[in-house]
Amino acid sequence: MKTTKINIMGSEVVDGYECKPKKLDPNKPIMHYKTLLYVCEDERCKNASKTDKAIELREILKDMDLQKGKNRIKISRSLCQGACRYRQIIQINENTKANGYEPNNGIWLKHTHKYTKDDYEKLFIALSTNQPLDDFEQIDMKVY
């Protein structure tokens, strides 16, 4: 017996997908997020991780109940961001037009392939409670 999968926005999901709606409602607003994390999954970073990092992180967020609500953290995959020497990297974007925390906006974390589940949980707690990310190794961004 086949069950119908419903995403957290209440839409029926296409078979084989986690959240892709079967019927697009162009009038439905985009779901709010507080923090958006771009996880590099291009060849070098993906090989350094040896796991499907986006799926792994989404599961941690579900366990922490941070995949929904006003402090929602969204995980998106990206291809190469040009920081291969720091693989695997995560770029953090805060929704500063809503409740995002400006000091964490635009931070790039390096060597995240070495993070444990506990490290990710600490990161997600810091992001959801608007704490600075001083304990996480960051890529120094310079303007040339």
CB atoms within 10 A of CB 131: 15
| Max mean pLDDT range (26-30, 50-54, 66-70, 130-134) | 130-134
Over residues 98-120, mean pLDDT: 95
Q: What are phi and psi of 139, to 5 degrees?
A: -85, 130
Query: What is the per-residue pLDDT for 115?
Result: 95
pLDDT beyond 70 at 18 = yes
Tokens for 124? 């997600």
Query: What is the per-residue pLDDT for 16?
Result: 84
Query: What is the per-residue pLDDT for 1?
Result: 66
pLDDT beyond 90 at 58 = yes
Query: What is the per-residue pLDDT for 24?
Result: 81
Query: Dihedral sign, CA of 36, 41, 47, 52?
Result: positive
pLDDT beyond 90 at 9 = no
pLDDT beyond 80 at 30 = no
| Residue 86 three-state SS | helix
Over residues 60-82, mean pLDDT: 93
pLDDT beyond 90 at 109 = yes
Average pLDDT, the chain: 90
CA 119 to chain CA mean position, Å:
14
Specify the higher pLDDT residue, 27 or 100.
Answer: 100
Q: Which of 79, 126, 119 lies closest to 103 in space, CA to CA?
A: 126
- Strand locations in the chain (E): 35-40, 73-78, 90-94, 108-109
CA 32 to chain CA mean position, Å:
13
Query: What is the per-residue pLDDT for 143?
Result: 73
pLDDT beyond 90 at 7 = no
pLDDT beyond 70 at 137 = yes
